[in-house]
Amino acid sequence: MRKKKGLKTAAVIVAAGKSTRMQNQNKIFAQLLGKPVLAYTLEAFQKAALVDEIYVVTREEYILLASDIVKAFGVTKAVSILQGGNTRQQSVKNGIEAAKDANIIAIHDGARPCVLPYYIDLAIETAMSKGAAVLGSPVVDTLKLANEDFLIQKTLDRTNLWHIQTPQIFKRDIIEGAHQKAERCGFEATDDCALAERCGFDVQIVPAPATNIKITTPEDLAIAQYIIESNL
């Protein structure tokens, strides 16, 4: 994959979560085969050919720790480690504003250490041509809609349902404008695709392996270890 002349891609790595389901350990800095989770994430974007710069957004108390990881693992594309906001959406916006010279913005959860450089580049290429792209895998489980009493109401058709991952990648004007509009309206979304969709933009799904998991619980660390060992 070759870089397109005149285009600059910045990766915004969001690592400012509270890890409330991780039993008092921060998932970003949890050890995985002797390395912090964040190190695997940063190394993947370091290896991605189409990524020019990396911006790490984290909590104020973790800025020095994140900086140590960047130095220890030779993440030379990391140009800034900055403080996040009160919500994920605010943290992403801080990253977008910091990457002021980038034409393409790739937003990724720091707690997704199993992402492969090949798929990062594939999604960036797609966003360059389509305007917005996201990695995803087809839903394979049977899905049920239940009420507040956990009683099944109906079975959902999974034919066109996808598990959406990160990175989520956009041309700068699309995601910058979407965040600005959301801020004006007081709208909070669970991911950046939802902000772009709300503004009427199409987002192209790039099929990717389901192994690009997000670390959310302690059990996920064991799954991520198996995935990483399988890719060695």
CATH number reported for the structural domain that contains residue 93 in this entry: 3.90.550.10
Distance in angstroms (rounded) separating the CA atoms of residues 196 and 201: 5
Q: Are 132 and 169 in contact (CB under 8 A)?
A: yes
User: With 80 as the cut, is the pLDDT of residue 162 above it?
Assistant: yes
Q: Is residue 223 part of a domain?
A: yes
User: With 90 as the cut, is the pLDDT of residue 95 above it?
Assistant: yes
Which of 228, 198, 206, 199 lies closest to 215, judged by CA? 228
Cα-Cα-Cα-Cα dihedral of 54, 34, 116, 3, to 10°? Answer: 30
Ordered DSSP codes for 164-178: EEEEEEEEHHHHHHH
Q: Is residue 4 part of a domain?
A: no
Label each residue of 81-147 as H, E or C.
EEECCCCHHHHHHHHHHHCCCCCEEEEEECCCCCCCHHHHHHHHHHHHHHCEEEEEEECCCCEEEEC
Q: Is residue 2 part of a domain?
A: no
Q: Is residue 217 part of a domain?
A: yes
User: With 60 as the cut, is the pLDDT of residue 23 above it?
Assistant: no
**φ and ψ of 16, to 5 deg:** -115, 15
Which of 63, 52, 53, 54 lies closest to 28, judged by CA? 63
Domain extent at residue 115: 9-231
User: With 60 as the cut, is the pLDDT of residue 21 above it?
Assistant: no
Q: Is residue 3 part of a domain?
A: no
* pLDDT reported for residue 25: 67
Write out pLDDT tens, residues 32-83. 999 999 999 999 999 999 999 999 999 999 999 999 999 999 999 999 999 9
Q: Is residue 133 part of a domain?
A: yes
Q: Is residue 216 part of a domain?
A: yes
Report the domain count for the chain. 1
Write out pLDDT tens, residues 178-229. 999 999 999 999 999 999 999 999 999 999 999 999 999 989 999 999 999 9
Cα separations in angstroms, 203 against 169, 171, 179, 206 = 9, 11, 15, 10
**φ and ψ of 22, to 5 deg:** -105, 20
Q: Are 112 and 166 in contact (CB under 8 A)?
A: yes
